[in-house]
Amino acid sequence: MAVPALARQDADDPAPLEHAPSPRSWGRAFGDIRKAVDQRELWGHLGWQDIKQRYRRSVIGPLWITISMAVTAAALGGLYSQLFGQPIGTFMPYVTVGFMIWYFISACVLEGTETFIANEGLIRFLPAPLMIYVFRTVWRQILFFAHNVVVYVIVLAIFFGQLDQPYRMVNVVPGTDGEPGILHPGLSWWALLAIPAFIVIVINGMWVTLLFGIISARFRDIPPVVGSFMQLFFTMTPIIWTTDLLQGGAPGSIKAIIEQLAKLNPFYHFIEIFRAPLVGQVQSWTHWAVVGVITVVGWSLALIALRNYRSRVAYWV
């Protein structure tokens, strides 16, 4: 049967064969994203389903997410504040917020590598935009995150008295002659900056999931490698320790070098833009600048990967 001349066509209608764009085109890549956004009911439902699934037949269900977060924050916050000799009233909120956002970021990276592999059955049997699975994965992490916000609210309620005034995380920086740590301004309306920070982190979570998902679908060594690196990054990122401890090293000393190295860790900057406002700490705009650059570079790489390999993923999984 002949294909009729192309008079009017809506945007979703693929062009007839002669004009069909090649599988590797920007049009198809952005079309994939647009269609996935249109199908938000689908990935929204699948994301919820994932959480319900994990706690199926458990009595308090997703409340376990909140409880386990609370236990972690209390135990590690309590332990490390004593180990480092830091006031618990300011250290506990610091650890809680750090964990909250670290869980989100590391889950985007770790589950991002699995995003297409885990949805293999759906990808190979139902025609759907690839971005559905990316959105599903990130949406699931957002829902987890929302459960953990409860813990922050509780911790804040308990320690508000210590946080709403200027405070020092570290009274005396170790290895110096009694030099005091940085004086933080305390909680203020700047805390609202955490909202755009979280949005930026989510936007980054999407490119991470997309890019790592595509690479991992092709190279199955990536997920375990990423897994062990994330373990390393957890200890290298100031989550259960603070960079305030690294202040005041003499130029050229090991301490000063470590302080510089800590800044090379991209996760540090992501954590900082979200955590600093929520615990009333000094906020440096360099973190935002670094995050901005990573966002642009990361999305560019992810879009190139989507353009070139979108149609290949079904063959790889």
| Residues binding another protein (CB under 8 A) | 1, 3-4, 13-17, 20, 23, 39, 41-42, 45-46, 49, 53, 56, 121-128, 218, 220, 311, 314-316
Q: Given the complex with another protein, which of 284 and 311 has the nearer CB atom?
A: 311
C-beta of residue 279 within 8 angstroms of C-beta of residue 94: yes
To another protein, the closest distance from the beta carbon of 299 in angstroms equals 23
Distance between CA 24 and CA 311 in Å, rounded? 8
Q: Given the complex with another protein, which of 42 and 88 has the nearer CB atom?
A: 42
The neighbour count for residue 159, using CB atoms within 10 Å, is 21
Q: Given the complex with another protein, which of 219 and 229 has the nearer CB atom?
A: 219
Q: Given the complex with another protein, which of 7 and 59 has the nearer CB atom?
A: 7
Q: Given the complex with another protein, which of 12 and 177 has the nearer CB atom?
A: 12
Q: Which residues pair with 46 in a beta bridge?
A: none
DSSP states along 251-284:
TTSHHHHHHHHHHH-HHHHHHHHHHHHHTT----
To another protein, the closest distance from the beta carbon of 224 in angstroms equals 15
Q: Given the complex with another protein, which of 133 and 145 has the nearer CB atom?
A: 133
Strands (E), the chain: 167-168, 183-184
**69, two tokens:** 């977060």
φ, ψ (nearest 5 deg) of residue 186: 90, 170
To another protein, the closest distance from the beta carbon of 300 in angstroms equals 23
Q: How far is CA 242 from the centre of its chain?
A: 20
To another protein, the closest distance from the beta carbon of 144 in angstroms equals 19
90 sits in which H/E element: helix 88-113
To another protein, the closest distance from the beta carbon of 23 in angstroms equals 4
To another protein, the closest distance from the beta carbon of 8 in angstroms equals 11
**299, two tokens:** 């999305």
